[in-house]
Amino acid sequence: MFLIFGSILLALYFEPILSILAVQKNEIRTYESLDGLWTFVREPTNYGDLGITNEWYSNDLSKFDNATVMPVPSAYNDLGTSSELRDHIGWVWYEKKEIIPFRDQQFRHFLRFASVNYFAVVYVNSQKVTTHVGGHLPFEVDVSQYLKFGIENKFTVAVNNTLSWATIPQGDFNYQKASSRNISGRMLSRLPSGAFKDVGNFDFFNYAGILRSVQLVKLPSSYIENIIIVADHTGSFYYETAISDLNNGLVVESKIFDDNNLVVFKSNSTKGEGQLENAKLWWPRGMGKPNLYILEITLLSSDGQVVDVYRETFGFRTVSLTESQMLINQKPFYCLGFGMHEDFELSGRGFNQVVMTKDLNLLEWMGGNCYRTTHYPYAEERMAENDRRGIAVIVETPAVGLKGFPKANNNLHIKMLTDMIDRDKNHPSVIAWSLANEPVTKKKESRNYFRSLVETAHGIDRTRPVTTVYGPTNFDDDQTADLMDFICVNRYYGWYIDMGQMEWINQSVYWDLSLWKETFKKPLMVTEYGADSILGLNQEPSVDFSEQYQSELIHQTHLAFDALRKDHTITGEMIWNFADFMTGMTTTRAVGNHKGVFTRTRQAKMAAYTLRNRYLSLFNQTDLPLWDTKKQLY
Ligand SMILES: *[C@@H]1O[C@H](CO)[C@@H](O)[C@H](O)[C@H]1NC(C)=O
Ligand SMILES: *[C@@H]1O[C@H](CO)[C@@H](O)[C@H](O)[C@H]1NC(C)=O
Ligand SMILES: *[C@@H]1O[C@H](CO)[C@@H](O)[C@H](O)[C@H]1NC(C)=O
Ligand SMILES: *[C@@H]1O[C@H](CO)[C@@H](O)[C@H](O)[C@H]1NC(C)=O
Ligand SMILES: *[C@@H]1O[C@H](CO)[C@@H](O)[C@H](O)[C@H]1NC(C)=O
Ligand SMILES: *[C@@H]1O[C@H](CO)[C@@H](O)[C@H](O)[C@H]1NC(C)=O
């Protein structure tokens, strides 16, 4: 039997939490962009806390002899000409000066950063206003009391990209101690004293800096703080609004507009629920149109003056699971997807609207309908585009390759998961939360760690399933997979396993995935498979790193996917990777990872056409059979 989300129940599906709404410009709200060239000073690598100790925040950094400029948003790593800047670990300092107009004195001013990797200390006019841990997610601080109007204000940000348990939920930090030997009275050491590597336990470059936009957001003194809107395929919806200061007889007006700009719901309450007749549903590409609605919240004074307005886009859609399938609006959904990266030449992981637009256009050209935000939450602009284009996404925390499970890291992981869900909660395109990529969850101690994450996600959001992406563990030694609502697995037969054995791939993949399925009896998605290839490197018969090899490996893996689909074992597949991307230096990477079906400059390799043919042939799957009807609610 179907478990329908009832309208009364909907109210139970979201725990209100402190929020950070996306920035909006409208008849009340405005902001000043602080993007552009900032003064930039680097500290020596891994050298204590030089700038903070010497109170650099009270200096004018642009007067330093070694000051330069750095564009925001962008990673700084690839913009210099030295390996010291590229590989820098430790503190860098950013500074910008800005005159704040007199006319804006009536506003509350919030300084907002969309992403700083990984640890930031923020100063306004030499006074510390906040610190923030965790990259890839926004944070803001009310700086009204620190600002001066009509004259220059100085914004200083100290950024530390040191990878540690304190800055990112991670597995391994590769510190290396210089080991010394006393040889005939001489102390000899293999490494310089204090030497260390800090490349992270992940297969992508550790890009750092102010990676996304910075804004000075101007809000009225009473303002709309948070909006939660949950809407399902039956037309039921529930919403809740948090107002910063709901006194002085302020009134809230809530309206829902359809895509013709017609009001379909109206209320004077900060929260409520309703039922929309004939709601047009949000569908992923290939299943229907990604219909969107707008919830408009207006804050009015007692005499009817508009105090604040916020318009939140949302969609009516339900994600649910059977034992074998993921359903969207109760219809089987099969993911034709990608692992990706926010990565491009020069700007690194910095937000780049040009690259974002090209990537999503290429994803559509490929016949894709989904992707996973490997391996961190992606830019807010991109989340809005996913809604508009009908691209389903699994949003992932930045926890890659977890190996140890200390409490401090668990707490940081929980905080980042919470912030991530809070940021992306109203996006219909978000179909699931991924807690981690390829954790080494063979030890019992990993179980409590992951249980706390599942409980956190379920505690805030019961409308979306929770998953973890498994790599190093197997069906018979993983200690956490049964805690997940559905299971994602990365497998590289023909590459990391059995290189060169094309004819073994089908059976190996089939066998491996079938065992996961039989063990856990939950929906299964293959979230990574693939091979490296260098554009223009051609070999017939195929050899590893040739375009032919990548294309054939993908094709062979698809034979297994076809068999697994027929056996009701998998509910989706994602290639690794959409495009080539930069990594740290290792013997297995030649100027980065080349598993892209596109090059780093987004040109198609042979494999792109192989994948495109498959995705387009499977794209219109509106009549996929429903294999079983026993539904799971999380
Ligand atoms: C840049 O200048 C400051 C101030 O003189 C100095 O402390 C710091 O070490 C310099 N940075 C580098 C990378 O040498
Ligand atoms: C920042 O970087 C320095 C190395 O330059 C390190 O000693 C310090 O612990 C780091 N602080 C944080 C909070 O990561
Ligand atoms: C190294 O060994 C010599 C004896 O061979 C000893 O005199 C000296 O103190 C040692 N140095 C250190 C730093 O341990
Ligand atoms: C909401 O309040 C306004 C005045 O603030 C009033 O004119 C309107 O009728 C109310 N609407 C509802 C649905 O109660
Ligand atoms: C792939 O393997 C499965 C499982 O062994 C088998 O049923 C299927 O026929 C194979 N496909 C091809 C094309 O050989
Ligand atoms: C999918 O179906 C639509 C409508 O029937 C059609 O216009 C489109 O060409 C189909 N796309 C593919 C890739 O088959």
The two structure tokens encoding residue 106? 């009536």
Q: Provide the pLDDT for residue 201.
A: 73
| End-to-end CA gap in the chain | 16
Query: Worst-scoring range by mean pLDDT, 467-476, 497-506, 572-581, 624-633?
Result: 624-633
| CA–CA separation, 229 and 427 (whole Å) | 9
Q: List the Cα angle 566/472/115 in 5-degree steps.
A: 100
Distances (CA, A) of 509 to 108, 416, 516, 552, 615: 57, 33, 11, 15, 19
User: Which one of 140, 380, 385, 438 is the catalytic residue?
Assistant: 438
| CA–CA separation, 153 and 143 (whole Å) | 11
Q: Are 531 and 498 in contact (CB under 8 A)?
A: no
Residues 6+ away with beta carbon under 8 Å from 241: 224, 226, 227, 228, 252, 254, 270, 271, 297
Cα(571) to ligand 6 centroid in Å equals: 21
- Indicate if the pLDDT at residue 183 is higher than 80: yes
Q: How confident is the model at residue 625 (pLDDT cuts 50, 70, 90)?
A: confident
Beta-sheet strand order (sheet of 108-113): 30-33, 214-219, 108-113, 139-142
Residues 6+ away with beta carbon under 8 Å from 316: 231, 232, 233, 235, 237, 276, 279, 280, 281, 282, 291, 293, 428
Render pLDDT for 474-492 as a digit per residue (tens, 0 to 9): 999 999 999 999 999 999 9
**Which ligand sits closest to the CA of 182?**
3
Q: Are 545 and 494 in contact (CB under 8 A)?
A: no
The two structure tokens encoding residue 326? 């993921």
CATH of 319-619, one of 3.20.20.80, 3.40.50.720, 3.40.50.2020, 3.40.190.10: 3.20.20.80
Q: Give me the sign of the Cα torsion angle 124, 126, 130, 132.
A: positive
| CA–CA separation, 24 and 338 (whole Å) | 30
The verdict on the CB of residue 90 being under 6 Å from ligand 2 is yes
Please list the residue range(s) of the chain that carry CATH number 2.60.40.10: 7-22+220-314
Q: Provide the pLDDT for residue 461.
A: 94
Q: Provide the pLDDT for residue 246.
A: 73
267 CA: nearest ligand 4 atom = 13
For domain 7-22+220-314, the CATH class is mainly beta
The verdict on the CB of residue 185 being under 6 Å from ligand 3 is yes
Cα(221) to ligand 4 centroid in Å equals: 23
Q: Provide the pLDDT for residue 173.
A: 59
Please list the residue range(s) of the chain that carry CATH number 3.20.20.80: 319-619
The reply to whether 503 belongs to the active site is no
The two structure tokens encoding residue 47? 């050298």
The two structure tokens encoding residue 25? 């410009």
Backbone dihedral region for residue 216 (phi beyond 0: left; psi -120 to 50: alpha; all else: beta): beta
Q: How confident is the model at residue 633 (pLDDT cuts 50, 70, 90)?
A: low
- CATH T-level assignment (fold) for domain 30-218: Jelly Rolls (2.60.120)
- Indicate if the pLDDT at residue 6 is higher than 50: no
Please list the residue range(s) of the chain that carry CATH number 2.60.120.260: 30-218
- For the residues 619-628, what does the mean pLDDT come to? 81
Cα(194) to ligand 1 centroid in Å equals: 19
DSSP 373-436: -TTSPPPHHHHHHHHHHT-EEEEE-S-BS-----HHHHHHHHHHHHHHHHHHTT-TTEEEEEEE
Distances (CA, A) of 182 to 176, 185, 188, 426: 19, 6, 6, 63
Q: How confident is the model at residue 621 (pLDDT cuts 50, 70, 90)?
A: confident
| CA–CA separation, 493 and 510 (whole Å) | 11
C-alpha closest to that of 425 among 29, 6, 135, 18: 18
Q: Are 246 and 193 in contact (CB under 8 A)?
A: no
**Which ligand sits closest to the CA of 563?**
5
Who lines ligand 4 at CB under 6 A? 251, 253, 266-268, 300
Q: Can you give the length of the chain in residues? A: 634
Pairing mode, strands 370-372 and 392-396 = parallel
Q: Give me the sign of the Cα torsion angle 612, 385, 370, 415.
A: positive
| CA–CA separation, 465 and 310 (whole Å) | 28
| Number of Cβ within a 10 Å radius of residue 250 | 15
- SS3 for 64? coil
Rg (Cα) of the chain, in Å, rounded?
25
Ligand 6 mutation target, pool 611, 620, 622, most atoms within 8 A of CB: 620
The two structure tokens encoding residue 377? 């939450």
C-alpha closest to that of 525 among 554, 489, 493: 489
HSE, CB side, 13 Å, CA atoms: give it for residue 541: 4
Instruction: State the pTM of this model.
Output: 0.94
Q: How confident is the model at residue 207 (pLDDT cuts 50, 70, 90)?
A: very high
- Indicate if the pLDDT at residue 12 is higher than 60: no
Render pLDDT for 367-411 as a digit per residue (tens, 0 to 9): 999 999 999 999 999 999 999 999 999 999 999 999 889 898 999
Render pLDDT for 528-575 as a digit per residue (tens, 0 to 9): 999 999 999 999 999 999 999 999 999 999 999 999 999 999 999 999
Pairing mode, strands 524-528 and 486-490 = parallel
The residue whose CA is least distant from atom 6 of ligand 1 is 43
| CA–CA separation, 179 and 447 (whole Å) | 35
Higher-confidence position of 157 and 586: 157
Q: Are 170 and 162 in contact (CB under 8 A)?
A: no
